[in-house]
Amino acid sequence: MNEPVPERLPSPFATGLACRCPRCGEGPLFQGFLKPVQRCESCGLDLSFAAGTEGPAVFIILIVGFVIVGAAAVVEAMFHPPPFVHLLLWIPATIILSLLLLRPLKATMVALQYHHDAGEGRSDV
Ligand SMILES: [Zn+2]
């Protein structure tokens, strides 16, 4: 079942956007919306290191905040809508955009973590 580690790993961005295993690019990375699988069903990679990856939330806040605030400023400058229109536009847009970005960003961070052998800080002392 365990395939040998490929000589050249697939792009972490390609596997991340596809939500696939960072080593083989074949097996699915998630078993639910955001819960990573224990092992890749294609290559057997142990994905337990991915369980605690919460970093995407920070990037989503920054990206979605930039997009929504920018869009709200443009709409306000061009159309001067009443405040409730802003609420009707930007609250659902924020939620939808955040949910759309969550899986691919988490998968990309897991892939980058695997590619760079990154992990929690360790003391060598
Ligand atoms: Zn795999």
What's the average pLDDT block by block, 10 residues per block, for the chain (125 residues)? 67 95 94 92 91 83 97 97 97 97 93 86 72
pTM of the model: 0.82
DSSP for 52-116? Answer: T--THHHHHHHHHHHHHHHHHHHHHHHH---HHHHHHHHHHHHHHHHHHHHHHHHHHHHHHHHHT
Residues near ligand 1 ion, CB 5 Å cutoff: 21, 23-24, 27, 40, 42-43, 45
The rounded Å distance from CA 79 to ligand 1 centre is: 50
The rounded Å distance from CA 50 to ligand 1 centre is: 13
